[in-house]
Amino acid sequence: MAIGEPPIGPLVVRNALLVTQDPTRRVLRGDVRVDEGRFSHVGPDAPRDGASLIDGHSFALVPGFINTHTHVAMAPLRGIADDRDLAGFLETLFAVDARRTERDVEAGARAGIAEMLLSGTTAFLDLYYFEDAIARAVDALGIRGFLGWAVLDPALTTQTGAPLANAAAFIDRWKAHPRVSPLAAPQGVYVCNEETWHGAKELAERTQTLCHYHLSETRKEVHEHEAKTGDRPVAWLDRIGFLGPGQVAAHAVWLTGDEIHRLADRKVGIAHCPASNAKLASGGVAPVVELREAGATVALGTDSVVSNNSLSMLREMHIAGLFQKNQRWDAALLSAQELLDMATIDAARVIGRSADVGSIEVGKRADFFLARLDHPTLLPARPEAIVSHLAFSASEEVVDSVYVDGEPVVRHRRLVRADWSKLLRNAEIAADSLWSSAAK
């Protein structure tokens, strides 16, 4: 059958360059077989009985990227708050957010998910409101979504009802979905008091879900919290008994050595968002090297297209590597392999799903993409160079076809489950309203 056609039953991809991301990080020519959404064979000579066949000799088969922090529904707002620091950025965003509807959130989510799929991302961790709309977009387009309902103090929210109760109801509505993992997402220390933090943790523990939040993104956030409580955010969250496993902290830029070790010791996962931090002039560079040395698991996130302005994990790997090398005058820091780890297997660890996704291994969910080895940005197409190319040179156009649970969601750079022209039209309608409100 032709590359990218929907498989009927089992699927075998033959003779591809497999970038396994397994424990030994093997890169080899071989086959994969998929049965019931999982890899059942990785290596030479996969059994072909009853399977649809794809000739993979012109492709690298790569684990799908996992974006560990974004606000996907902001797609219609790309460019609306450029060239502003976080305070000015948020002022614009809060004004626009107050006018958003569930309908335009869904239109934005569908467009953002399409952008991620077309650049090889098969799973993402989101923080927003109207998450039911985003869940519907996840269901429709076939991606895997870890969706955090924004939680903040009741006195500070524009949500109808109590945010924690809203998050609990959202989790209950979507917990049985095979590709939607609902969760609570405290916005940050600047809008969440101690009661709200404890409520979010209790909800996560009771429902056995992740807890996702912003943390120490700017000096202003850190200094204001210290002036208010006597503690920096990490120390305060630790003192009140909040920090622990099953949590993902986004940004973590302004940390002391003590805070780095607290996060590592409490097994808090970190979502590093270098492009967003740089564009908002957060200052400095997040202590990724120090966090990893302390034992913390650090993954990559794009943040939203308003602060990035891209959802490409290929781009994020490149930026993350350059920043760490340059900041510390050490070209050996954050190698291509480490960057690819942060976008795949380390990201799977951060979201608590390393047994299911993040690498090409027997028994794991078949979330992967096929990268065109004849693309100029993958030249020379050699096994010993492919990891470097993915981290430092590959453009989004190398992504030919994308599979989630072994089913195609992109083939030949066309969405399988949606018509891009319709997604674009609906997103532009949403943008017309939102941009006009920002101008007022």
DSSP state of 328: T
Backbone angles phi, psi at 54, to 5 degrees: -125, 130
Q: Is the omega angle on the peptide bond into residue 380 within 30 degrees of 0, that is, cis?
A: yes
Average pLDDT in the chain: 95
Residue range 403-431, pLDDT digits in tens = 999 999 999 999 999 999 999 999 999 99
Read out DSSP for 83-141? T--HHHHHHHHHHHHTT--HHHHHHHHHHHHHHHHHTTEEEEEEEES-HHHHHHHHHHH
DSSP state of 16: E
Residue range 248-286, pLDDT digits in tens = 999 999 999 999 999 999 999 999 999 999 999 988 899
What are the structural domain ranges in the chain? 11-64+355-415, 73-350
Residue range 68-90, pLDDT digits in tens = 999 999 999 999 999 988 788 88
Q: pTM for this structure?
A: 0.96
On the question of a common fold for 11-64+355-415 and 73-350, the answer reads no
Token match 């396994």: residue?
20
Amino acid, res. 25: R
CATH number at 73-350: 3.20.20.140
The answer to whether the CB of 157 falls within 8 A of the CB of 115 is no
CATH number at 11-64+355-415: 2.30.40.10
Q: Tell me the C-alpha to C-alpha distance, in Å, between residue 56 and each of 5, 144, 150.
A: 13, 24, 42
Q: 347: exposed, middle or buried (C-beta count within 10 Å: 0-12, 13-18, 19+)? A: buried
